[in-house]
Each structure stands twice: as structure tokens, then as C-alpha cells.
Amino acid sequence: MNKIPEVIDDAFANRIAFCENISTHEISNDSLRIYLDNYILESIKYDLLFKEGAQDSINIKVVSESYYKASGNYFNYLYNKYSTKRFIDISEKEYWINIESNQYITRDEYRLYDSIKMVNIPYAIKYLDSISLLLDNFQEYSIYQIEIANQYILNDSIFEYNHEVALRKYLEILDKKEYSLYLFESWRRWRCVYQNSNGHSKFSDIPNEFYNQKRNEVLQFLLNYITFHPDDDMAINQYILLSTHDNVLRFGEYDYGNQNILEYYYLYKAKFDF
């Protein structure tokens, strides 16, 4: 940070300019426009705080709390007023039932894999990988490949080049351009692992444009799929999840690094269960 202050200064200046150029006058919903105007105003104050290198902890606390309150008010209103119920008729309970991967596993060998991995995880992964090559169903194939990639991350003390292998597994699912219920999960895990390799600091390199390029490729494929399957609520829901998932944020609820740390924790909780 001390070596390139002008780059950081420019980044905040660009964010401020972006906020100042947002026009809300065409929004017909008065409440939404007011919430958004306030969120924009507090965002500018928040960015100015860091751009100017504020040292007053009391002022930082006041401005930060005001920013998070405005953000919460805006997004809560947005999500409640324009919830996914406007697009799909599926409850959260139904979603979790439909996304459960065990119901799509047809091979008895997978049960054997579950037993083997308790005693010999390297052999179990090779075994599962060999089984997946025999599958014709892309959805079941995705489940197997995600499981393999997850195990490489969860057992990184055992495997060499574990992150590279996991990234390749997740990315392969995305690049197949075939539909499954697990495209969003694959993208989310791919981005999380990639960013974890980039660093945890608030000032680590965070190539959101790179992540979003891959996101947009998957979104375009999903949109094409939905065009031919307009009644597939799970596909529409996946499109919404993927398109609204936050960028990797530098500043957020976690104070000691960028927000990918929380994503990494939530996606790989078993890694942190001691």
C-alpha cells in the first residue's frame, strides 16, 4: 500500500465518480429512488473517508455505520419488493430439496467411494475420478467432479498442486457449456479458490473483471437454456443467484481482510472444524 498510494487514490476517485454519475430520476418507485439516492450518497462519503486517509476512529465508525445502514435499507427494500417470487414459483424449502445432490447419484460405486475416503483419501479420489469418466449424465458428472475438487481443497496438506487441480475441475464444468444444477456452485467455488491463491488482504489483487467474464459466459449459456425451458424454475433461480452474487469486496463485514475470506470459510467449513 505504501508503494503505490496513487493507484489506491485513483481507485477510490473512480468509484466516487461512478457514484456521482448514477442517475436515479427515471425510477418511478419513489421509495426505491430515495433508498438508492441515500445509498449513493453514503457510498461517496465512505469512499472519501478512505481516499483521504482518515485517522479519526470515531469519524470512521460513524461514516461506516451510516454507509452499512443505507446499504442495508436499500437492498432489503429491493429484495423484498422485487423478490424472486416475481420470476419463479418455488419456495426455499423446495429449492433445498431439489438441489440436494445425493438424489442424482445413480452409481453404487459412489457409496464405496464414501467408505474409502475415510481411510485413504488419495485412492478414493482417483477411484471417483475413474467412475465419473463412465457417466453419460452431465449433472451427475458435475457432482462427482465438484466433490473431487472440494477434497483437493479440504486435504491440501496431502496433495501437491491441490489448488491447480481443483481450479481445473471447477472450470471444466463451466466450459462444457452443458446444463446442470451446479453451474453456480462451480463458478462460485472456482472464483473463491482462485482469489484465495491471490491473497487475503484488503489490498491483494482482486481481478473481478476476470471473474465476471467467466460469470457472463455462464449467464449467457443459462439464458439460452431458459429460452428453451421457460418453466424450469431451478434454472431461472440459478440464473438469478449467479447474476446477483456480489463481486469480491475489499471492504465489508470482515475487518481483517477482503471478503473472500468469508466465502472461503462458508464454502469449505469442514476445513476449519478442528
Q: Where are the domains of the chain?
A: 1-82, 87-272
pLDDT at 128 over 70: yes
267 with 188: CB under 8 angstroms? yes
| pLDDT at residue number 27 | 93
Using CA atoms, how far apart are residues 166 and 145, in angstroms rounded to an integer?
A: 9
Residues 6+ apart with CB under 8 A from 190: 167, 170, 171, 174, 214
Dihedral angle computed from the Cα positions of residues 252, 87, 210 and 173, in that order, rounded to the nearest 10 degrees: 120
pTM (predicted TM-score): 0.76
What letter represents residue 177's amino acid? K
pLDDT at 1 over 50: no
In a 10 Å sphere around its CB, with 0-12 CB exposed, 13-18 middle and 19+ buried, how is residue 171 labelled? middle
Please provide the DSSP assignment of 133-144 as one string.
Answer: TT---HHHHHHH
Per the model's pLDDT, the better-predicted residue between 121 and 82 turns out to be: 121
| pLDDT at residue number 177 | 94
